[in-house]
Amino acid sequence: MQKFPPIYLLSLFCLLSSVLNADQISERFEKEVSETVALDYLLSIPDGYNATESGDWPLVIFLHGAGERGSDLSKVAVHGPPKLVAEGTEFPFILASPQCPENEWWTEQPVLRLIDHLEATYRIDSSRIYLTGLSMGGYGTWHFACEEPERFAAIAPVCGGGVPYKMRWIKSLPIWAFHGDEDSVVPLEESTRLIDALKRKGNEEVKLTIYPETGHDSWTPTYNNPELFSWMLSHQRKEASAN
């Protein structure tokens, strides 16, 4: 192995030090970017909405699972609240159920901008906006709640998951999560670790319902339970109610 004289090594060290300590210029990149966003969705308006031109209504956003992605909106009504509406259930809130395009994920979709649109178009009580979803939509529910925690009065993720670190951003948000104990698609741990993180952060309005001997389909018993919707509507965003 070739050996270098000490003077050579000292010169090399000095050269490297001068490079590492070279002055750096502070720069800023800024560019205005405009884009068009779009989402197809099913919309259910309560019968009483058109009976009067006054009064604001609660809004529930439902995010479907991976199997309902695409461009056929009828697939969105296969599960969850839109299925119940199709079967004749009447809800005392506006229900919007967007469809995620094929091979994409909820985290890539303009769900929050859809809510902006609905608030600008319909008489919606901004202090009573709720978010729920199943499987991929459960992940989306956790995600968007962490993106804009001040937007929602309560969320109900079903067999979903997320990032435990982000739970610090929703440590005061009312949350009711649901999961089957034998789910082989989305393991129960995906929900329990988030609930545990929330409890460590002091969230006293979080709870998890675990269905025994239940696989991935924890959404059927969840959305067939009227108590879920009563629980949702019992919450109002505190900041908004104080104004």
> Tens digit of pLDDT for each residue in 73-106?
999 999 999 999 999 999 999 999 999 999 999 9
123 lies in some domain:
yes
The pair phi, psi for residue 129, each rounded to 5°, is -110, 130
* Mean pLDDT score, 141-161: 98
22 lies in some domain:
no
Mean pLDDT check: name the lowest of 29-33, 85-89, 202-206, 237-241. Answer: 237-241
- The pLDDT of residue 173 is 97
- The pLDDT of residue 3 is 60
165 lies in some domain:
yes
Q: pLDDT tens for residues 36-47? A: 899 999 999 999
- Domain extent for 69: 36-242
For β-strands 57-63 and 124-134, DSSP reports them as parallel
**How many angstroms separate the CA atoms of 16 and 186, rounded?**
51
For β-strands 175-180 and 206-211, DSSP reports them as parallel
- Total domains in the chain come to 1
Top mean-pLDDT range of 2-11, 50-59, 177-186: 177-186
131 lies in some domain:
yes
More confident residue, 26 or 193: 193
**How many angstroms separate the CA atoms of 58 and 56, rounded?**
7
6 lies in some domain:
no
* Mean pLDDT score, 138-161: 98
Supply the DSSP string of 20-40, one letter for each residue: HT-------------------
- The pLDDT of residue 35 is 84
Q: pLDDT tens for residues 153-176? A: 999 999 999 999 999 999 999 999
52 lies in some domain:
yes
What CATH number did the domain enclosing 53 receive? 3.40.50.1820
User: What is the average pLDDT score of the chain?
Assistant: 91
Mean pLDDT check: name the lowest of 11-20, 55-64, 113-122, 201-210. Answer: 11-20
Share of the chain above pLDDT 70, in %: 89
* Residue 154 Cα distances to 85, 112, 125, 184, angstroms: 21, 15, 14, 27
Q: pLDDT tens for residues 116-130? A: 999 999 999 999 999
76 lies in some domain:
yes
pLDDT tops 50 at residue 240: no
